[in-house]
Amino acid sequence: MKKSNFKRKSILQEKSEEDSHKVNRNYKDSVFSSLFSDPDILRELYSAIEGITIPHDIPVVINTLYGVIYPSQKNDVSFIIDNRLVVLIEHQSTINENMPFRLLEYIVRIYEKTVDPDKKYLENMIKIPKPEFFVLYNGSDEYPEYSEHKLSDMYMDVEDLKQPNIDKTPLELIVQVYNINHGHNPKLMKKCKTLNNYSFFIGKIREHLKEKKSLEKAVDIAVKYCIENNILKKYLQEHRSEVYNMILGEYNREIDIAVNRKEAWEGGRAEGRAEGRAEERAESRTRFLSLLDQGLTIKEIKEQLKQE
């Protein structure tokens, strides 16, 4: 196996002992969207989630709209399979309870892209693919094996205006959330080998982060281990350099999210404090990167920042 010719300093300003990789922390693609943007893998995953078998002659048409769900990161894949329009999202931070509304915006744009706009003016009813929404949770916080988030849960209270015996919701959108951290949802993982291997790979990175290794070193060890043990072997061999960029890019986005939340919380305590915010943001980011390089997980860093 050839070693990368790229040479650079790690985030601890140390060279990797064996391989060096050119890392771009602003890389927008993700391992999830890259790995699962394969029709055969999507067919395997969807079959596992639904508990059915989708024949290989059923086409999978990918129509992902990048920059809608996550403006700075590609963590979503949307596709049409057997007259079903499926939106699939990986979530690596705390579950966003506004996801049903965000997916409502997303699905409207998908329909605008995939349905002939002139047909909606015809008298006869047109047929559109049935939408389905899935979030695969891969964050470090504790989360149940499965949960649902509904658009109707976001509606303002209108109980006093309801007519008797009418419980129908005029507009509903249900997001199914599965915990895909390694060791969770074993039945699902057994049916989809690719998802199970992906979960193992991410878990391996976090395992080494807990051992206080730098993020770059943790990724390096996990990639080598998985290749040697035939876990996502072909994918990791073909996309090795991109994987480093994607993983570090994802952690970079997590840093931005955490820093922004910390700023918002502090801003609520002291409104109008405009001066010094840019400097404070830079300091918070530097502190976050420092803790990350010490081997702390995102969850541990969040707790540390709350105490400071």
Residue 149 lies inside a defined structural domain of this protein? yes
Pairwise CA distance, residues 254 & 293, whole Å = 14
Which one-letter amino acid corresponds to residue 287? R
Mean of pLDDT over the chain: 79
- 85 pLDDT higher than 90: yes
Name the percent of the chain in helix, strand, coil, to the closest 5.
Answer: 45, 10, 40
- Lowest-pLDDT range, 131-140, 141-150, 244-253? 244-253
Mean pLDDT of 289-306: 67
Confirm whether 15 is domain-assigned.
no
pLDDT at 290: 66
Comparing 65-79, 227-241, 272-286, the range with the smallest average pLDDT is 272-286
Note the pLDDT of residue 96: 84
Each residue of 187-196: pLDDT tens digit?
A: 999 999 999 9
**Does some domain include residue 3?**
no
Record the tokens describing residue 139, joined without a space: 């964050």
Whether 21 shows a pLDDT value over 50: the answer reads no
Q: Please answer whether residues 87 and 139 qualify as being in contact, where contact means their C-beta atoms are separated by less than 8 angstroms.
A: no
Residue 15 binned pLDDT confidence (cut-offs 50, 70, 90)? very low
Provide the residue range defining the domain that includes 46: 31-157+168-267+277-307
Give the pLDDT confidence of 102-111 residue by residue, as tens digits. Answer: 999 999 999 9
The pLDDT score that the predictor gives to residue 308 is 66
Percent of the chain having pLDDT more than 70?
Answer: 69
Is the residue at 25 inside a domain? no
Binning pLDDT at 50, 70 and 90, where does residue 36 land? very high
46 falls within a domain? yes
CB 7 within 8 A of CB 15: yes
In a domain, 10, yes or no: no
| Number of domains within the chain | 1
What is the rounded CA–CA span in Å between residue 276 and residue 282?
Answer: 10
In a domain, 252, yes or no: yes
Nearest C-alpha neighbor of 175 from the set 138, 153, 149, 144: 149
Residue 92 lies in a domain: yes
More confident residue, 253 or 203: 203
